[in-house]
Amino acid sequence: MKLKLTAIALSLLATTSAVWAQNVAIVNGKPVPTSRVDALVQQVTAQQPGRPVTPDMQAQIKEEVINREVFMQEAQKAGLDGSDEYKSQMEQARQVVLIRALFNDFQKKNPVTDADIKAEYDKFAAANGGKEYRARHILVEKEADATKLIADLKKGAKFEDLAKKNSKDPGSGANGGDLDWAAPGSYVKEFSEAMVKLAKGKYTEAPVKSQFGFHIIRVDDVRETQLPPLDQVKPQISQQLTQQKLQAYQKGLRDKAKVE
């Protein structure tokens, strides 16, 4: 008889241990599964990538899960889960979760490949290749002022000094007119057309008019465009292509839908 009781006790103990292993707690007789803790941990780490899951964080998340169960039970007791507002919000939440699942499924089945990324990079390189110019300019409001400054340059005045003293461009004037490296397409048409005609070290001998005023331009150096290596921009290209694929998928679904 004692052996039978011992066996029964051991069986009950094993069953209880299994229940506790599957649940983080039992609130008012209702088991709270550990999967809720796991899901909340994943949510937190997804929002803060790289953040370690410490014992303190685990304890806080466990407490949060238990609190939610307590509050949810109380709301159910009050019959709030039968209200129109609750049903409406649940329907909206259901739509959001289901749509997210649809898009995630599409992306898993249609991943961006290395070949896709390389092709996009090559297209970018072809469109942005060519020459870059290291130029300076002095911007003034009146043509007469620009003409006078050109005369000063011909007499030996330093371009940088004249830019610091006279240029109306707040971005480059303080730096002696320096515009750093840029492709011709970065500037307005009148500016770029005059700039590309200059040899290295030369400046425009007539004022260049644009929508901003009158420019005196000097080219300090010319080089082939320096594009970032593929490995450096691969994550950005991948993200861009992923978004483009998803947008095309969404548009295709919308176009095929019969909307009356």
pLDDT tens readout for residues 2-53: 445 454 444 444 444 444 468 999 999 999 999 999 999 888 888 888 788 8
Kindly state the tokens that stand for 240: 């861009």
| Residue 256 near residue 139, CB atoms below 8 Å | no
Q: Determine the distance from the C-alpha atom of residue 155 to the mean position of all C-alpha atoms in its chain, rounded to a whole number.
A: 51
Q: Picking from 117-121, 163-167, 182-186, 205-209, which range would have the lowest pLDDT averaged per residue?
A: 182-186
| Residue 180 near residue 252, CB atoms below 8 Å | no
Q: Taking 90 as the threshold, does the pLDDT of residue 196 lie above it?
A: yes
pLDDT of residue 258: 94
pLDDT of residue 21: 60
Cα–Cα distance for residue pair 67/51, rounded to 1 Å: 23
Calculate mean pLDDT across residues 194-204. Answer: 97
Confidence of residue 127 (pLDDT cuts 50, 70, 90): confident
What amino acid is encoded at 9 in this protein?
A
Confidence of residue 130 (pLDDT cuts 50, 70, 90): confident
**Contacts for 150 with CB less than 8 Å, ≥ 6 apart:** 203, 204, 205, 206, 207, 216
What amino acid is encoded at 20 in this protein?
W
pLDDT of residue 10: 44
Global pTM value: 0.59
Calculate mean pLDDT across residues 185-193. Answer: 95
State pLDDT tens for residues 143-164: 999 999 999 999 999 999 999 9
| Residue 179 near residue 199, CB atoms below 8 Å | no
Q: 230-256 and 114-128 helices cross at what angle (nearest 10)?
A: 110
pLDDT of residue 15: 45
